[in-house]
Amino acid sequence: MPPPGLRCPGCGSSNIIDDDLHCQTQLVCVDCGAVVSEGTLVNDVVGGADVSYSQTTAVARKPCPNLLYGIQRVRAICRSLRVNHEIETLSQTNFTQAYQHEHFINVSLQRKEVLGGCCVLVSCRLLNWPITMGTISCLLDADPMVVGAIYKEMVQTLNITAPTISITDVMEAHSQEYKISPLDAPEELSADPRQLNKRAVALVELAADTWIVTGRQPVPIMMSAIYLAWQSLKPTKQRLKLTLEKFCKIAKVNKHKVAMKRVAEMKEVLCKLGKELPWIREDVTPENVVRHVEDILQHRFALLRRAMRTHEETRLEEGRTSGKDSLNEKSAPSEIPEIQNSSSAERCEIRTDVSEQPGDGDDNPYTAPEPHGSPQEDQEPNWGKRALFAPPCVVHPKKRKAPHPESKEVTGDEEICDIEIDSYIRTPREVREFTLVQQMLSEKEDANVSH
Amino acid sequence: MDSSNGALDIVITNVVSTFTTLCPLNLRTIALNGFNVIYKPGAGRVQMKIRKPNVTASIWSSGKIMCAGATSEDESKRGARRVARSLQKLGFNVRFSAFRIVNVLAVCYMPFAIHLIDFTKNNFPNASYEPELHPAVTYRITNFRATVQVFCTGCITIIAPNVENVVKGAEEVYPLLFQCMTSLRK
């Protein structure tokens, strides 16, 4: 509608109408036909409104199929372990969170599968359900080291602090894997699962008190405890003759190589305690100790105290009978630390000696550097050999290299001699010879490969 | 090594440091012209070993070099300078710059054995113990950067960015270890 009061500039008429010509608005005077004003051809904004392609073609966002598959796997693992509903829910939540984190979103599918297992493991630990990493590795058919690495990363990423499991808690779940109940094995080889579990837990507790468990993998210890418990429940000739390998075949479990060593260590401890039983006349040896396991376990605390007391009395007597030698021995060990610590005045002295790294805890901190029965070693026996019970890695320590002589004071800014550096550089002739030999070797390799 | 006089020996076993040469390096030239050199084309680096001090240097073509194996911070600097000098002699326009100590690894032996389960329970959540993965307890000190690994034999390893933190770490962890000293030795 033209605004009121508008007049044509040509004839002064007020008879002006709105005329749309080719969609263009015009105000035209009816009397003289003059165009009073015209609007723009197009009223739309140049370039159009910003609408992205994804907005125009957007559909409802579907969840990632690999995430759904992973959640299904987590559920399947939970059902095969027969955990409760809370653990299943928590595992799924943890898996969803971890999967979508930047550390795990782009990893391979295999690692995502392992991640699912790790989420189940951490949920079980948080809700007090005993389960080992070995069980998860077995279910996933994955390398335990890979499972361990992903577990550590996941725990750090999700900022979870999971408590450490106790081996006695896991014992019952582990012993159920062994198929030696009366339903699965013949009568002469079967054992009641409850009694077996009880005896095995007692053996593991004894092993924990005598330094066999600390720092070791739990599965071989549990295997050896179950084997000894099974033998001792019915110590017939047939059972005592059966080796660990055959026992594992009967029970349908995979044998651990290390379990044999644990069996030997446990038998050694049982022998030390068996000697204290007053009603046993014969010598207690690893061959016949299994028959006395029941008595030993029943009175193990009293036997431990008695064994420690006997050991202390024996050492005191040895000290008295050796006389002067023992005095010399006692003074020498005190001299050696003084010599070594002669330069230390403060509580924590820093030395720049070269020494080996301790690695997996098998190092002995108390042997002297010389490895072959030196006077220093005799004067300073390690505490493992003095104590009745000690970690086996301390009792049988690794031999150490002799330390290098202490280097002179180094500042880091000394002059560097050119002659020394020249010894690290080849001459041009040596370079030519080296290149020729490399070529000859590579030609030989190619010839071998083609044949 | 009883602490009869109250002193504990902390022995530094490894110092890791890095520096740059501010120029690109041709790894093939270094591999051809250098003794005590191992070329790893798959990893894209060259390993050079120096006899005195006993240091192994990993050299990348970008000019970044990492030195490991020294037993003190000054020795590590000395070894790094020797590596830089060797590269200079090989014809590269090397300048020794941005030297810094990355890691110090030290070992200390306690005169008593340690009950790892008790130590983990007492120091949760800083301490973590996974016997299926590693036989030692890993204790992370949050006040300053240091990680202590505790073995049941009484041996501890301390990893920290410098020697000062190593000493502080040992002092901080000693009373915690003493609480978990096993009674079986008495």
Domains and CATH numbers, chain B: 15-101 (3.30.310.10), 110-182 (3.30.310.10)
Among A49-63, A98-112, B171-185, which is the least confidently predicted range? A49-63
Whether the predicted pLDDT of A335 surpasses 70: no
pLDDT of A331 reads: 47
Q: Are residues A208 and A260 in the same domain?
A: yes
Whether the predicted pLDDT of B183 surpasses 60: no
A244-251 and A257-274 are packed helices; what angle lies between their axes, rounded to 10 degrees? 120
With respect to residue A269, please indicate whether it lies within any of the assigned structural domains.
yes
pLDDT of B136 reads: 92
Whether the predicted pLDDT of A432 surpasses 50: yes
Residue A85's CATH number: 1.10.472.10
CA–CA gap between residue A369 and residue A402 (Å, rounded): 5
Q: Are residues A109 and A76 in the same domain?
A: yes
Q: Do residue A164 and residue B52 have CB atoms under 8 angstroms apart?
A: no
Q: Are residues A138 and A176 in the same domain?
A: no
Residue A8's CATH number: 2.20.25
Q: Of A215, A211, A244, which is closest to residue A229 (Cα–Cα)?
A: A244
Whether the predicted pLDDT of B3 surpasses 60: no
Interface test with B, best of A169, A170, A330, A350 (most B CBs within 10 A): A350
With respect to residue A384, please indicate whether it lies within any of the assigned structural domains.
no
Average pLDDT over residues B52-73: 92
Whether the predicted pLDDT of A376 surpasses 60: no
Q: Do residue B107 and residue A337 have CB atoms under 8 angstroms apart?
A: no
- Torsions phi, psi of A54, nearest 5? -65, -30
pLDDT of A11 reads: 82
Give buried/exposed letters for A13-33 (b at 16+ CB in 10 A, else e): eeebeeeeeeeeeebbbeeee
With respect to residue A203, please indicate whether it lies within any of the assigned structural domains.
yes
Distance from CA of B59 to the nearest CA of A (A): 15
pLDDT of A381 reads: 56
Q: Do residue B152 and residue A214 have CB atoms under 8 angstroms apart?
A: yes
* Number of domains comprising chain A: 3
Q: Are residues A183 and A295 in the same domain?
A: yes
Task: Note which residues in 23-62 of chain B have CB less than 8 A from chain A.
Answer: 32-36, 48, 50, 52-54
Per cent of chain A over pLDDT 90 is 26
Count Cβ atoms within 10 A of the Cβ of residue A278 and give its class: 0-12 exposed, 13-18 middle, 19 or more buried.
Answer: exposed
Whether the predicted pLDDT of B64 surpasses 60: yes
Q: A212-252 pLDDT, tens per residue?
A: 888 888 889 999 999 999 999 988 888 888 899 999 998 88
Domain that holds residue A129: 65-158
Q: Do residue B184 and residue A209 have CB atoms under 8 angstroms apart?
A: yes
Average pLDDT over residues A4-18: 80
State how far the alpha carbon of A410 is from the alpha carbons of A116, A332, B83, in Å. Answer: 52, 32, 16
Count Cβ atoms within 10 A of the Cβ of residue A306 and give its class: 0-12 exposed, 13-18 middle, 19 or more buried.
Answer: middle
CB within 8 Å of A40: residues ≥ 6 apart: A24
Distance from CA of B165 to the nearest CA of A (A): 12
Whether the predicted pLDDT of A366 surpasses 50: no
With respect to residue A178, please indicate whether it lies within any of the assigned structural domains.
yes
Interface test with B, best of A353, A404, A410, A417 (most B CBs within 10 A): A410
Whether the predicted pLDDT of A332 surpasses 80: no
- pTM for the whole thing? 0.71
CA–CA gap between residue A211 and residue A230 (Å, rounded): 22
Q: Give the confidence band of A345 by pLDDT, cuts at 50, 70, 90.
A: very low
CA–CA gap between residue A112 and residue A101 (Å, rounded): 12
Average pLDDT, chain A: 79
With respect to residue A355, please indicate whether it lies within any of the assigned structural domains.
no
Among A184-193, A389-398, B17-26, B33-42, which is the least confidently predicted range? A389-398
Q: Are residues A209 and A262 in the same domain?
A: yes
Collapse the DSSP code of B101 into the 3-class scheme (helix H, G, I; strand E, B; otherwise coil) and give the result: strand
Average pLDDT over residues A143-168: 88
Q: Are residues A275 and A179 in the same domain?
A: yes
Q: Which residue of B has its CA nearest to A366?
A: B1
With respect to residue A235, please indicate whether it lies within any of the assigned structural domains.
yes
Neighbours of B84 (CB within 10 A): 23
DSSP string, B142-175: TTTTEEEEE-TTSEEEEEESSHHHHHHHHHHHHH
Q: Are residues A149 and A181 in the same domain?
A: no
Average pLDDT over residues A298-311: 90
Neighbours of A449 (CB within 10 A): 7
Q: Which residue of A has its CA nearest to B125?
A: A161
Query: Using the 8-state DSSP alphabet, how is residue A201 labeled?
Result: H
